[in-house]
Amino acid sequence: MPATMPSANRAALPSLDRLLNSAAGARLVERHGHALVVEHLRAVLDAQRRLLAAAPESEAAAASSLLAECGTGIEALLRPSLRPVFNCSGTVLHTNLGRALYPQAAIDAALGAMARPVNLEYDIDGAARGERDSHVEAWLKRLTGAEAAVVVNNNAAAVYLALNTLARRREVVVSRGELVEIGGSFRIPDIMASAGCKLREVGTTNRTHARDFEGAIGKSTGALMKVHTSNYTIQGFTAMVAESELAAIAARHGVPLINDLGCGMLLNLEDYGLPHEPTAREAIAAGADIVTFSGDKLLGGPQCGLIVGRRDLIARIRKNPMKRALRLDKVRLAALAAVLRLYARPDQLTTTLPTLRLLTRTASEIAALAARMLPPLSAAVADRASARVVECASQIGSGALPVASLPSAGIALLPAGKRKSAAADALAAAFRGLPIPVIGHIREGELILDLRCLEDEAGFVGQLEQLGMPATAP
C-alpha cells in the first residue's frame, strides 16, 4: 500500500474478507461464483487504493459502492458480445450482420444436434464408421444434378480445397476479368497461391475469348476456372466465353473446369419475381466438373461451402488432408440438411425460408409497415428530429446481383439544428445504443431505417422509449 495514503483512509477502506462476508457480497458469490467475485473485488480495491494515493483528501468508497461496482464489472464481463440487432441497413444478406437467417426447421435441427448424441460419423445400419457429408450429399445431388458433393466451412474453403486437390503445383487458367476481390480481402490470386497453384490469367479485363483459353493450355495446366464476379459487373464493350464452350475446351484437353459461383442458388429466382442468379444445376448442366458456392447467402442456410460435381474428382477432394481441417460440425450439418429439405417444396419457400421471404416482400407491404412505424418513431425522437416515410432501394447483399435493387420503404430521421452530419451520426449511435441495436445508414444528413427486414414490430416499438436521444446540435 502506498505510504502516502493517510492511515484514516486505510482504515476506512473495507477489506476483501469484509466485503465477501457481507450480505451483498454473499449474494454476488451465490450468483457469480467465488473466484470471479474475488477477482473483481481485488481489482476494485486496487483502483480505490490508487485513487486515495493520488488524492489523499478523498474519502474511501463505502462497502456498498465497492460491491455495486464489482457487480457491474462482472455483469459487463459476462454480457455476450454477439447480440441480436434489428437490420434496417437496407442490405438483406449483410455479411457484418450474419447473412442468412435460419429457418425454424434449421433452428430446431441445430438444437437437436446440440442436445443429444447424433450419428455424425456412424453408420447405424452397418454399425461402422460413416461419412459426415452423407447427411447432406444425397440432397445436394438431387438439387444440383451433380454426381457427388462435399461440404466445408465456407466457400473460400471450398475454392481452396478444390484448387489444392486438382491443380496443386500446376497452372489454373482464368479470365482476367474474373480475378475478383470480395469482402474481407478474399482475392482469387491469393487463394490460388495459398492452394499451391500458379495463376495463368488470359484475355483482358472486359473481353476474353475461347482462343485465349485454348492458347494458354499446356502440359503444366491443372484446371480451367470460371469465377462469378459477385460484387461488380463489366458492361459495354465486353466478351466472355460461354460456360458450355469453356467446358468443351476443358474436356478436349483433359483438364477439369472449376466454376466458382460464389453466392450460388439452387432455384431460379426469376420464378419468385427476382433477377436471375446462376444456379448450381445450370453450371453442372453446362459441363462444369466442379462447382463451388455458399450455403449462407441466397441458399438461406448456415455458413458453409458446397462442392458438387464429378464423382471421381469429389472423391479426390474428400481425401485431401485439409478436408478434415475445413469440415463442418454437427450443428451446421444438421441445420444445412434441414434447409435443403425445405427445397423439396419450392412453392412454400417464400414462407419457410427467411431469406426468400425477405427478398420477395413487396414494396406495398413494406410501405404499410413504414406507415405503422412512423407515429412511434416520431414520438421517440420528439422535437430532436423529424420523421417521414421514404422510398428505399434495398440490396440483396453478400455479392449477389450487385447492380440489382429491390423497391422498399423506410423512415428517414432528420435531426434538428444546422450540424446535420454530426447530429445524424449521434442519432445513429443512439439507435445502436438500444437494448437490441437498430442498424440503419446515413444518407445526406438523414438516418435512414429501411424496413424490408423488420418483422418483429412489437419488439422494435417496445424499446423505443429507451432511446437516449443526443442533444440538439446548434
Q: Assess if residue 34 is contained within a domain.
A: yes
- Looking at the structure, tell me whether residues 284 and 313 fall in a common domain: yes
Q: Assess if residue 454 is contained within a domain.
A: yes
- Looking at the structure, tell me whether residues 24 and 167 fall in a common domain: no
CATH number, domain with residue 444: 3.90.1150.110
- Looking at the structure, tell me whether residues 32 and 146 fall in a common domain: no
- Looking at the structure, tell me whether residues 124 and 64 fall in a common domain: no
- How far, in Å, CA of 460 to CA of 258, rounded? 45
Q: Is the pLDDT of residue 2 over 60?
A: no
- Looking at the structure, tell me whether residues 274 and 133 fall in a common domain: yes
- Looking at the structure, tell me whether residues 340 and 364 fall in a common domain: no
Q: Is the pLDDT of residue 232 over 80?
A: no
Average pLDDT on 21-39 reads 96
Q: Assess if residue 471 is contained within a domain.
A: no
DSSP assignment of 352-392 equals H-HHHHHHT--HHHHHHHHHHHHHHHHHHHGGGEEEEEEEE
pLDDT band at residue 187 under the 50/70/90 scheme: confident
Residue type, 40: H
Read off the DSSP letter of residue 61: P
Q: Assess if residue 117 is contained within a domain.
A: yes
Minimum mean pLDDT range among 80-84, 217-221, 275-279: 275-279
pLDDT digits (tens, 9 = 90+) for 324-374: 999 999 999 999 999 999 999 999 999 999 999 999 999 999 999 999 999
Beta strands in 32-127 (DSSP E): 86-87, 122-123
Cβ atoms 366, 453 nearer than 8 A: no
Q: What are the φ/ψ torsions at residue 78 (nearest 5 degrees)?
A: -85, -10
- Looking at the structure, tell me whether residues 210 and 245 fall in a common domain: yes
Determine the structural domain holding residue 61 and report its residue range.
7-78
Q: How close are the terminal C-alpha atoms of the chain, in Å? A: 49
- Looking at the structure, tell me whether residues 197 and 280 fall in a common domain: yes
Query: What is the count of structural domains for the chain?
Result: 3
Cβ contacts of 186 within 8 Å, gap of 6 or more: 156
pLDDT digits (tens, 9 = 90+) for 103-142: 999 999 999 999 999 999 999 999 999 999 999 999 999 9
Average pLDDT on 312-325 reads 97
Share of the chain above pLDDT 90, in %: 79
- Looking at the structure, tell me whether residues 411 and 281 fall in a common domain: no
pLDDT digits (tens, 9 = 90+) for 195-210: 999 999 998 878 889 8
- Looking at the structure, tell me whether residues 337 and 191 fall in a common domain: yes
Share of the chain above pLDDT 70, in %: 93
pLDDT at 280: 96
Cβ atoms 258, 166 nearer than 8 A: yes
- How far, in Å, CA of 179 to CA of 189, rounded? 7
- Looking at the structure, tell me whether residues 179 and 319 fall in a common domain: yes
Give me the chain's average pLDDT, please. Answer: 92
pTM of the shown model: 0.90
